[in-house]
Amino acid sequence: MATQPLHLTGASALLYEPFHYGITASNDLRSYDPQKVNSLPHVHNGILDKDIDREVRVLLETIQSHGLENELAVWRTHRHFDINENEQIVTTLDAENNSLVTHVIEKETCDCVPIMWSLSKEGTWHPMQFWTGKESDTMKNRLKILEEKRDFLDEYAKTLKQMDAESSIGISIRQDDFLGAIEGYSLVEGTRENIRYQVVRNVSDEKVDEHFQRNLKKGEPGKTSITHWPCEYLRPREIKCTYLGCVICGIQGSCYSHWPEEDASATIDQFRAFHIPRFFELIKAY
């Protein structure tokens, strides 16, 4: 079978064997299995240390090419805790505190909308997390748009397979836009694993960088890790390089002038944490 090239911006093309993932009646993005959640890699197994920037960019380009940048984001598949057979993980918008709250509930006790999926090796999409409460109509509309984009789902799945990334990357309906991008702040997800509770809120970049520095010194950079990427991540911009210095001009800690070229993969790795908006996870023990 002839191989075909996969388009990559600023990178060498991959070669892959053509194949097909179909979306069938039994694979409608809503069929939920709690054990699939428990099979996701755990954050404490070092999975957040893996650099998947290149793969993320390819998938974001796929989202963008289908005009879905307002609805979808790339998601790093992982779990913080296990759930029971009668449970599911849901996220709610706490508008009063401008935050997203994620917790565990019993299945089918609310009108929940699936918002995050992982792809199995067999090519089946499995929902991992759900949405309930405020903005549910918005999320239902985004889900409807996704369900109608069978060609997109097929292409996204094939791209994951080509990059052998099914175990580390999934897809998510966007939630970050409910909180908004604030200058000098990043979206940060903090987790209390003992009570299976998570909160996403805007945190100052200084605090995020302090946390990253501490974990970097301990040899655990993945404990401050990006886990959600909207298409804004593809936009180059001028930024302040605070912890590594400027890899272009060599200034340590305060260069505002330079941004790596799209094909400069080494500098992209250095700078990738400073795209805006940022959606971090701060992994802490409580």
What integer pLDDT is reported at residue 74 of this predicted model?
A: 95
φ, ψ of residue 250 in degrees (nearest 5): 90, -5
Residue 70 has pLDDT above 50, yes or no: yes
What is the pLDDT averaged over residues 136-164?
95
Distance separating alpha carbons of residues 118 and 157, to the nearest angstrom: 10
Structure tokens at 78: 């992982």
What integer pLDDT is reported at residue 27 of this predicted model?
A: 53
Domain for residue 5, yes or no? no
Domain for residue 238, yes or no? yes
What is the pLDDT averaged over residues 85-112?
91
Instruction: Give helix 150-162 / helix 136-148 axis angle, nearest 10°.
Output: 80
Domain for residue 2, yes or no? no
What integer pLDDT is reported at residue 223 of this predicted model?
A: 65
Domain for residue 10, yes or no? no
What integer pLDDT is reported at residue 264 of this predicted model?
A: 38
What integer pLDDT is reported at residue 53 of this predicted model?
A: 84
| Among 44-58, 185-199, 220-234, 258-272, the range of highest mean pLDDT | 185-199
What is the pLDDT averaged over residues 224-249?
60
What lies within 8 Å, CB to CB, of 38 at 6+ separation is 79, 82, 83
What is the pLDDT averaged over residues 56-82?
94
> Residue 101: which pLDDT band, with cuts at 50, 70 and 90?
very high
Beta bridge partners of 5: 15
Host domain of residue 235: 20-282
What is the pLDDT averaged over residues 154-167?
94
Domain for residue 6, yes or no? no
- Looking at per-residue pLDDT, the higher value among 149 and 225 belongs to 149
CB neighbourhood size of 40 (10 A): 19
The number of residues in the chain equals 286
Domain for residue 12, yes or no? no
What integer pLDDT is reported at residue 255 of this predicted model?
A: 36
| Among 8-12, 106-110, 116-120, 200-204, the range of highest mean pLDDT | 116-120
Three-class secondary structure assignment of the chain: CCCEEECCCCCCCEEECCCCCCCCCCCCCCCCCHHHHHCCCEHHHCHHHCCCHHHHHHHHHHHHHCCCCCCEEEEECCECCCCCCCEEEEEEEEHHHCEEEEEEEECCCCCCEEEEEEECCCCCEEEEEEECCCCHHHHHHHHHHHHHCHHHHHHHHHHHHHCCCCCCEEEEECCHHHCCCCCCEEEEEEEEHHHCEEEEEEEEHHHHHHHHHHHHHCCCHHHEEECEECHHHHCCCCCCCCCCCCCCCCCCCCCCCCCCCCCCHHHHHHHHHHCCCCEEEECCCC
Total structural domains within the chain: 1
- Smallest CA-to-CA distance from 279 within 130, 144, 174 is with 174
What's the predicted TM-score (pTM) here?
0.74
